[in-house]
A = this chain, B = another copy of it.
């Protein structure tokens, strides 16, 4: 049918999948990296930075925010979006756990 059966999986599995999915597009990775590079909040210059229309970037920003990867609010004329460290930490911890477990098993 096309829709994924989120109710059949655990809360954590769904959560990790949501965050990973949000990172599953090069434009959104580029946005994250841009936020790191400028070391500050986004102003409109991100539109000049990426090869995408303003509306498309706005959509990507929304998805990143929904997934909890960035946080921020509109600030007057401009906007303040920045990386939400907490969510990235969750990801890092999750992958660290996987790697730790894998290291201690022998297979293939």
Contacts and interface: CB of A to CB of B under 8 A. Distances in A.
Interface of A: 4-6, 8-10, 13-14, 16-18, 20-30, 32-33, 36, 39-41, 50-52, 71-72, 80, 82-83, 85, 88-89, 91-92, 95-96, 98-99, 101-103, 105, 107-108
Contacts of A101: 36
A5 B95 contact: no
Nearest to A108: B82
**Copy number in this complex?**
2
Contacts of A27: 4-5, 9
Given A85-B99, A98-B83, A107 B13 contact: no
B88 A5 contact: no
A-side binding surface: helix, strand, loop or mixed?
A: helix
A8 B82 CA distance: 23
A23 B94 CA distance: 12
Given A82-B108, A108-B80, A14 B39 contact: no
Given A20-B20, A29-B17, A99 B107 contact: no
Contacts of A40: 105, 107
